[in-house]
Structure 1
Amino acid sequence: MSSRPPHSISVAELDLAAPDGPVLSFRPVPGGPELAPGDVYALVRVEGRPAATVLGAVAEGEDPAEVLAALARGRLAEAGPRTDAERFAAVRPLARPDILDWNRKGLTPPRASVIVATRERPESLARALDSLLAQDHPDHELIVVDNAPRTTDTHDLVTGKYADRVRYVREDTPGLAVAHNAGLAAADGTVVAFTDDDVIADPHWLTALSEPFAADPGLGCVTGLILPARLSTPAQILLESHGGFAKGFAPRLYDPAHPPADEPLFPFTAGSFGSGASMAFRTAALRRAGGFDPATGTGTPARGGDDLYAFVAVLSAGFRLRYTPEALVWHHHRETWQDLRNQAYGYGAGLTAYLTATLARRPRMLPALLTRLPRGLAYARTMTAQRGEGDGGVPGEHGTQHHPWPRSLSRLERRGMLYGPIGYAKARAKARARAGLRKGAAR
């Protein structure tokens, strides 16, 4: 393997008429630059549906669509028969065949509220809002939660450029979970969806994310696919070559009544369910579960874990969770090495912070966690060790390591894991202090 640093990679979309069929379209990702000769990473769609990703080198004078299409046909041919995870998604629950066919019956998706929490990033927010206003969902509202603003930039943008199309909510307490709870309180949709201010949403994102709720009354959460909008810096390429935020192209249904046999740590492996940039909840289910824990998330000492906590909270309340790759957003990964260091530490801290939050608010889950703890510790150690030693693969093969994960980042992840419970305790103490001050002021 070459020791040279990773270089810029173009990002594109390729649509095929069939797994071995002709090219229907080929284009740069939304908002992306025109493609240039060199390495190209492409999302492969089959008749519009996300199916795989490929990475190929396009020489000067070559047709990039044909180069990538040849790779895509080979990748799809290698996929073979369905995995156990795909079969599980397709046959559960057997007593409800209508759930299996929701994507073929043309069900009307329920009214949805889309929440975007933001802080002092008006340019990226505008890009995200433009994509959300272009959704094909027939009945939805957009709510921007301005979290602990230092300027009026977000307010001016939303109430100016997006007046009468986007609702503005201000939340002065810092923290992503607090901001999400403010959006949840303001929402009037049957489904409440969340995404970040640094994404571009595919036009079908919200429909794909909300339609499953129309078929399955026991569904509490749906998560979607997150792919990179840019692979322009070594940090972005390194993150994506180790899986990024994507959870693959196999749909999956997680049912607490039928725990998946291939996930013995379920439901505590919440990171495999999805990520906060592409998630939706049945509004009543999320409210019944108590919403997000305000002592978790970016902007608090806990550093993260707000989405993971919500996933487990909804599952522990008896609702099902579905992952669907058709609900796609393009995410602008952080660009610098320091950003990646911060992310590595934050991921580790968020993981153990969310576990601490789950036990603090749901102590009845302690016996289940204790029985899984030895295996969970071994799993966490193995995952970071593999990332430090891996090789082979490409950014298109999520979870493989084309560029070895530096041991320094593995150490940061582990340090974050040790810090997470402390960070959560600090954040919870701050939340209680704020609540006490508000209570005293109200007297």
Structure 2
Amino acid sequence: MIIKKALRLGQRMCLPGSSQLFPSLVVADVDLDAAVAIALPALTPFPVPPEGVHALIWVHGVPVGEMTVAGDPGQLLPELPVLAQESAAAAVHEHMLQHGPEGSAVPPETRSPCVAEDLWRARVDGSLLTVAICTRDRPADLERCLAAVDGLTIGVAEVLVVDNAPSDDRTEEVAQHHSRARYVQEPRRGVGWARNRALLEARTPLIAFIDDDVLVEPRWAETLLMAFNAHPDTSVITGMVAPAELSTRAQVVFEATGGFGRGYQHRRLQAASTSPKDTAAAVYHIGAMGTGANMAFRRDRLIAVGGFDPALGPGTPTSGGEDQEALCRLLTCGDLIVYEPAAVVRHRHRRTMAELRGQRRSDGAGSASLLVGAGRNLGRAHHRRRIAVAARWWAKSTAWTVASSLLRPSARPMSLVTANARGWTSALARRSYRQAVDQARREACAYPELPVLTTAP
């Protein structure tokens, strides 16, 4: 029996003694407190029998690590708690230091709230939080997402379902079957419009955005609220995005090459000053702070800096970047971003390699549009400094991904590397951000009666 700890991307999810990835895996949770392992139901039928288990390891309701184990899943599950205890011993020790009683190595003011701490739980007020789900024509995903939200351990003020330029009424029908959900139609194309509409529709001081293809963990909202209480100086809390399933090769490839995971360590990111040099240095690390599939804001603060750019994101020629751009803008203004790994959602990764290549191309287009296009909105000095930093990062990142693809083509297919590069070059050659700005202006003119935030063209 071989245990593969997820420490470096090159070691993740490979068959024992091979550079080949597992064709499919069962996803499971291991609760070390209860000493049990539970397999998550697969959302997609397994095209081939799974050859192992990928497990998220929990202590006190907080994820502390992960492991991939080869073998028959049915036989492995009873053994996983013991294996996880051995595999995650160092992480468990670190967790106890971070979340332990007074006198532990970490000062109370810098600890991340643990969901087992009654002190933090007593201060949680669900009426302060709105959950926003921006969606378009994915009723099956939305149904699963809302069902998971219904299972939260605390009630929230409201669940907003923002339907972006829908082609039919299926999304509205799904929302009507969930008593917590309020349906809002946003006819202007682009997820930036939908996110901004949610900001304006909400009436609470905090708003959490999740994608329609995620499943929230029961304590997700509770943990976000505890994190905001623990960090009153932050404008943004981002959380962990773990895989909901690893049934297909594409899903395993995506997770093995990084996925949406940002690790198990609590992090804070803030520029040393609002100078172009310091903000560019901070923005260099923005990718490690989370993704738009799981992020929460102080609503008034995000509105004050202009909300989301409607020329970025799915539904526009740029295909992405609206979430990262909002974080970049807040960093440039001197705001603090906190990554809280205990706030967990599960993401349904793209099921086919064709879908994954499309996602990689969209990622490239969104990154290029964010950097070269939307970056100009921050001013010439900030833009030039950011271009210089990003150019160095892009050169290093491209060299590393190409080299790793050549060395381990099955784990990091070259087709994904080239798809991302095509997204970058296409966005730059076609001036996708400029096209998206023109689209946003047309959308604004077509619906003059609808509210607009200041980032709108």
Q: TM-score, structure 2 length as denominator?
A: 0.81
Q: Secondary structure at the match of 2:24?
A: coil
Percent of paired sites with the same residue: 32
Q: Secondary structure at the match of 1:265?
A: helix
* Distance in 2 between residues matched to 1:31 and 1:190, nearest whole Å: 36
> Match of 2:166?
149
Any unmatched runs of 5+ in structure 1?
18-22, 88-93, 393-399
1:405 deviation in Å? 1.4
Q: Secondary structure at the match of 1:240?
A: helix
AA in 2 matched with 1:341: R
> Match of 1:317?
333
Q: Which deviations, in whole Å up to 9, do the C-alpha atoms of 1:135-181 show, x marking residues without a partner?
A: 1234331010111111111112212x12x421000011111111111
> Match of 1:332?
348
Structure 2 contact 21–253 (Cα < 8 Å) conserved: no
Matching residue within 385, 390, 403 for 1:371:
385
Within 5 Å, give how 1:72-111 maps onto structure 2: 72-77=84-89, 98=109, 100=111, 102-103=113-114, 104=117, 105-106=119-120, 107-109=123-125, 111=128
Q: Secondary structure at the match of 1:137?
A: coil
AA in 2 matched with 1:108: V
Q: Which deviations, in whole Å up to 9, do the C-alpha atoms of 1:184-211 show, x marking residues without a partner?
A: 1111121110111111110011121232
> Match of 1:419?
426
Within 5 Å, give how 1:326-405 maps onto structure 2: 326-363=342-379, 366-390=380-404, 403-405=410-412
> Match of 2:12?
none
> Match of 2:9?
none
Q: Secondary structure at the match of 1:334?
A: coil
> Match of 1:396?
none
Structure 1 contact 14–65 (Cα < 8 Å) conserved: no
* Distance in 1 between residues matched to 2:409 and 2:220, nearest whole Å: 29
Matching residue within 245, 257, 267 for 1:230:
245
- CA separation of 1:370 and 1:56: change in aligned 2, threshold 3 A: same
> Match of 2:291?
275
Structure 2 contact 113–227 (Cα < 8 Å) conserved: yes
- CA separation of 1:245 and 1:416: change in aligned 2, threshold 3 A: same
> Match of 1:288?
304
* Distance in 2 between residues matched to 1:335 and 1:236, nearest whole Å: 6
1:262 deviation in Å? 13
Q: Secondary structure at the match of 1:266?
A: helix
Within 5 Å, give how 1:41-190 maps onto structure 2: 41-59=54-72, 62-66=75-79, 68-77=80-89, 98=109, 100=111, 102-103=113-114, 104=117, 105-106=119-120, 107-109=123-125, 111-159=128-176, 161-162=177-178, 164-190=179-205
* Distance in 2 between residues matched to 1:150 and 1:42, nearest whole Å: 38
Structure 1 contact 388–406 (Cα < 8 Å) conserved: no
* Distance in 1 between residues matched to 2:89 and 2:409, nearest whole Å: 22
Any unmatched runs of 5+ in structure 2?
1-16, 100-105, 451-457
Q: What's the RMSD between the two structures over aligned residues? A: 3.4
Q: Secondary structure at the match of 2:334?
A: coil
Q: Which deviations, in whole Å up to 9, do the C-alpha atoms of 1:234-259 show, x marking residues without a partner?
A: 11111000110010000101122479
Matching residue within 225, 228, 234 for 1:213:
228
> Match of 1:203?
218
Structure 1 contact 296–304 (Cα < 8 Å) conserved: yes
Q: Which deviations, in whole Å up to 9, do the C-alpha atoms of 1:42-101 show, x marking residues without a partner?
A: 0011122101110001348734231x3344234323559869xx99xxxxxx9x964646
* Distance in 2 between residues matched to 1:295 and 1:278, nearest whole Å: 21
Q: Secondary structure at the match of 1:414?
A: helix
AA in 1 matched with 2:56: L
1:230 deviation in Å? 1.1
- CA separation of 1:313 and 1:401: change in aligned 2, threshold 3 A: farther
Structure 1 contact 242–387 (Cα < 8 Å) conserved: no
Structure 2 contact 364–422 (Cα < 8 Å) conserved: yes
AA in 1 matched with 2:315: G
* Distance in 2 between residues matched to 1:256 and 1:99, nearest whole Å: 18
Q: Which deviations, in whole Å up to 9, do the C-alpha atoms of 1:354-393 show, x marking residues without a partner?
A: 2245433221xx424433534422321322332333389x
Structure 1 contact 199–332 (Cα < 8 Å) conserved: yes
